[in-house]
Amino acid sequence: METIVPLEISPAHYISEAVNVFCSDCRFANKLYPLFFEHEGYQNPDRVFVAGGAKKLSSPANEGERQSTLEDILDLLKLHHCHRVNLGVHAGCGKYGKKFETEEEETLFFQGELLKAREILQNFLRKNDYEAETHVYFCDWKGMHEVKGPAL
């Protein structure tokens, strides 16, 4: 075995401030998400970057995809003593494969998807006797916007 990138990391376990489930689209992952983590003051944000982000919960390709994502989130919450989840989707997401007539139509659609994802996650966490705040974010070409909805 040949070392490609040398690095020394402390083996000490860490606590995460949040589990972040966002789309892996590099336009957002490389620029916007690091700014968000800095804005929130996260030192150890767990990152779950997958195609579609919160779509895996709100509109999965199949139930197994949703269940696997829910279990991954719960595992990270428990392993890293975390009590916050951030879910996100972004404008123009190819995983959805949808076209919209207006930006407003697209924004409203994704807000609904995020609120649905939040509800699904909160129900799953309650069934598994775990509490975590869930925040939902819509990203577009102007930035990241927190979606507010009815309290769960």
CB 88 within 8 A of CB 146: no
What percentage of the chain has pLDDT greater than the value 70?
99
**pLDDT (tens digit per residue) in 90-102:** 999 999 999 999 9
* 143-147: strand order across its sheet: 46-50, 19-23, 84-90, 133-140, 143-147
Q: Which DSSP string do the residues of 91-142 spell out, in sequence order? A: TT-TTTT---SSHHHHHHHHHHHHHHHHHHHHHHHHHTT---EEEEEEEETT
* Structural domains of the chain in order of their starting residue, each with its CATH number: 19-147 (3.40.1050)
**pLDDT (tens digit per residue) in 35-92:** 999 999 999 999 999 999 999 999 999 999 999 999 999 999 999 999 999 999 999 9
Interatomic CA distance for residues 34 and 29, integer angstroms:
7
